[in-house]
Structure 1
């Protein structure tokens, strides 16, 4: 009988028919292995109390370590993982350097969040070969919450691991990294020797878990199981935003399909829908520095730094984020926003054909029996100006109240608008594009007060804003959207 095999702190374990669909890695660590140093609180991947380190082999064949929220990860998703908990890095008489440093800086008050902080920092150091800047450390703080508000001593403790000496306020980042690029125009996946036979596990609660290794396997499972409801699972981080109260009968783990994690550049940059947000960010940063026509990807990278936090981005995928938007149109997906602004297209595959479509059509497409496989991002000339914004209730780890992306194509003297794309999220389910404003701006000189005032009037009339649960007042969001339009125009002068 098939089982999912993994290790925890160097010891081998396996699960199969003895677990239910909703058993998380956190549940297993605490309730089965009695490793209660890993805490839990929000069960939504927001507080960081549950963070553990995972080491596995990536699609390039390299061994890498990263942090995950154990409350979000299904235990049946841990195939081949080497999981390390706070007990695994050190304890009495053998504390790890991160633990010692946190204590020496008085970074622990009630102590409940401390294991999560330790494992977050440990994972970050391991992932970066212990070469971090203070800026990178501070940006990682969105992954954890200290309800005693003891952030300053925690930050001081962890900044002591940084390789740059000045404080962040005086920091001028060095871009000379002693590492070779792992991103070329093509990414080839070497043939692996691991077993590629579909794993089937009849879970304790009557549901069935499949682990597949090829896209064709997905359709084989769907065809075999007929009308039974099913769910494709990769990082499963979406349940932190929209809780899953009951899992469907058929659960298909697609995280081992390497075909979904590749990328290539022909004319477009084509990325696999199964690439993690972290890997996509690294790819965007690398390619933006190499290729002038993809320079706008640096702006996307900076925006993606505001999406969720590091453990979520480590296993959450771009395809999963788009599917969350597809299922819950109210979701203010930053990835949808960014890709729609540059007119990205996606590839959707069923058992017979591959169909390419734009993202707005995707939102109304029935995805039953289909899988999102690729996203295509176009090259843009230097005549294009791209900018995006995310307005949120705090500086890190928060969904957007309003997000917006603007793409202007200007003439050679960079005055007259040849075309424009204005995408604003967080206003209402129905509103995506400010099409009337886009049409008005065509042929106009962007940097005149007359154009600005007239365009603002057009935009104010066409945007649709609704009161939505969990969002700021509609009037505030409307004014904010108008303010962002004004801001991007002024910032382009």
Structure 2
């Protein structure tokens, strides 16, 4: 069975059964198309050397979207309806270099060059997805998933931040504007890829019995699921979970669900926000920003900020809400930020056993289900008026970006805010133990109490220290440290909420998060003009070729 892949504007007609069922986009690009700017390294979505850009249509609106992906995790069989762009496709020695490539070289952002194409493609994806309208803070926040081992990040970030609309970075005069660039033809490939293309695939059986399905509707998805009985299967979205826990080798059925519109829906009403199961974390963040403008959903801004701490931009571009929750279901020790925030907010899940039988259940009910063929359709977030509810969340991790939490936490308090009297409370912690989520004793004890009375505060933390019993599992941080973190996060939230007359100013400042300002730096070196070319600064000869 044949299909077509569009890479850098060229169509490659491919007989899929000549390749492994789970071949990645990275392997196909490098080994078969022989475009080696896209590198191969961690296979976890953490280093960024494998980044390329994908353009595809949203199945409901038909809108074309652009996003950077980790090709080491992206399965090739999910890319048939997309345009794939690599570093060679945006610029090379033959046709000229892209402004991003030029600036990275001219501004001394390359050294060994192994990581350079990944940085270039992440920036290209960011500019394309935002129509070029990005700010320096956004640029600096977008490279948590790109690692450089030799150059240092200052010149790299300077080159990237020079494309921001508010940039104050001095640009070398040799660099051209990004508007001057046009995509060009790609290079030739081997005859093994030249096969007659046929109509779009719906299913494919490989010689070893593995099957792939490409459903276009919810009914087609469940019709295919009904035929596999109890064999192991996988709903394929971003496949980012494979970077955390390697998928089972026993999976015999793969379902690409990108084209199922019911799983990409979202809506915002006065009562609730509905998010389709297959919405990516990046898309969810955009919806949270829109939702936060509506009364009752102001807390969505905090959700957006918390989601920004999950993994890195390419992983969030591909990873989905349902995928994250299913990772928590099958690996209870996974410190899911989606789960901990959604559980505090009592988010409800719409699930389906077949195309016509839908029901709404809680997150914890879903995690307890044993029938793997019950599919998540959507998530429902209810309104919490900010004159009655307070939501807060935290994530403490080894570094500022691209890391799992030591401890994460989310708190939802229903209260009479002027009086401080608690009506109901949801106090949730992650990173304590696989079976610990709610601090139930604290939640019960708070009801009817004045949150800002000294006795109430004292009882909260006396009981919390008893209730929190973190497990000891290497390489996690020590139980004592995680217990202290969890208690400190709740205390920090209470300090933030406390009235000024209840807490001294020097203590209340402890409720604020420390915000890191935009980084900056300069390079200085001695140069003696009369000795030129000795001591004369010149661009590294290999700088531009390293970018492709």
- Does the TM-score normalized on the shorter chain lie above 0.5? yes
Partner of 2:435: 430
Q: Quote the offset at 1:450 in angstroms.
A: 2.3
Contact residue 20 and residue 204 of structure 1 kept, 8 A: no
Q: Per-residue displacement from partner, 1:162-220 (whole Å, max 9, x unpaired)? A: 111458xxxxxxxxxxxxxxxxxxxxxxxxxxx99871112354311111112222221
Contact residue 428 and residue 468 of structure 1 kept, 8 A: no
The aligned runs of 1:277-288 (5 Å cut-off) are 277-288=281-292
Contact residue 467 and residue 473 of structure 1 kept, 8 A: yes
Partner of 1:491: 496
Partner of 1:71: 72
Looking at structure 2, the residues matched to 77 and 293 of structure 1 have their Cα atoms a distance apart, in angstroms, of 37
Partner of 2:277: 273
Looking at structure 1, the residues matched to 3 and 396 of structure 2 have their Cα atoms a distance apart, in angstroms, of 41
Partner of 1:186: none
Supply the RMSD in Å over aligned alpha carbons. 1.7
- Is 243-252 or 129-138 further displaced after alignment? 243-252
Give 5+ residue unaligned stretches, structure 1. 168-194
Partner of 1:83: 84
Secondary structure, counterpart of 1:43 in structure 2: coil
* 1:462 counterpart = 2:467: yes
Give 5+ residue unaligned stretches, structure 2. 170-197, 499-548
Q: Quote the offset at 1:149 in angstroms.
A: 5.3
Contact residue 238 and residue 324 of structure 1 kept, 8 A: yes
Looking at structure 1, the residues matched to 232 and 347 of structure 2 have their Cα atoms a distance apart, in angstroms, of 30
- Is 78-87 or 195-204 further displaced after alignment? 195-204
Looking at structure 1, the residues matched to 254 and 397 of structure 2 have their Cα atoms a distance apart, in angstroms, of 34
Q: Per-residue displacement from partner, 1:121-154 (whole Å, max 9, x unpaired)? A: 1111111111110000010011211112511110
- More RCO (CA 8 Å, sep 6+): 2
Q: Quote the offset at 1:417 in angstroms.
A: 1.4
Q: 1:325 to 1:96 in 2, by over 3 A?
A: same
Q: 1:292 to 1:369 in 2, by over 3 A?
A: same
Looking at structure 2, the residues matched to 271 and 285 of structure 1 have their Cα atoms a distance apart, in angstroms, of 13
The aligned runs of 1:28-177 (5 Å cut-off) are 28-59=28-59, 60-93=61-94, 94-148=96-150, 150-165=152-167
Larger Rg: 2
Q: 1:388 to 1:4 in 2, by over 3 A?
A: farther
Which of residues 221, 224, 227 is equivalent to 1:224?
Answer: 227
Contact residue 19 and residue 203 of structure 1 kept, 8 A: no
Contact residue 162 and residue 168 of structure 2 kept, 8 A: no
Partner of 2:249: 246
- Is 441-450 or 313-322 further displaced after alignment? 441-450
Looking at structure 2, the residues matched to 487 and 203 of structure 1 have their Cα atoms a distance apart, in angstroms, of 55
Looking at structure 2, the residues matched to 220 and 420 of structure 1 have their Cα atoms a distance apart, in angstroms, of 42
Q: Per-residue displacement from partner, 1:462-486 (whole Å, max 9, x unpaired)? A: 1231012331111111111111111
Looking at structure 2, the residues matched to 163 and 414 of structure 1 have their Cα atoms a distance apart, in angstroms, of 46
Secondary structure, counterpart of 2:54 in structure 1: strand
Secondary structure, counterpart of 2:423 in structure 1: strand
The count of aligned residue pairs is 464
- Is 310-319 or 445-454 further displaced after alignment? 445-454
Secondary structure, counterpart of 2:377 in structure 1: strand
Secondary structure, counterpart of 1:437 in structure 2: helix
The aligned runs of 1:75-474 (5 Å cut-off) are 75-93=76-94, 94-148=96-150, 150-165=152-167, 199-266=202-269, 267-289=271-293, 291-351=294-354, 353-382=357-386, 383-474=388-479
Contact residue 235 and residue 317 of structure 1 kept, 8 A: yes
Q: 1:377 to 1:4 in 2, by over 3 A?
A: farther
Contact residue 465 and residue 477 of structure 1 kept, 8 A: yes
Q: Quote the offset at 1:412 in angstroms.
A: 4.8
Contact residue 111 and residue 151 of structure 2 kept, 8 A: no
Contact residue 263 and residue 277 of structure 2 kept, 8 A: yes
Q: Quote the offset at 1:253 in angstroms.
A: 1.2
Contact residue 3 and residue 199 of structure 2 kept, 8 A: no
Q: 1:138 to 1:486 in 2, by over 3 A?
A: same
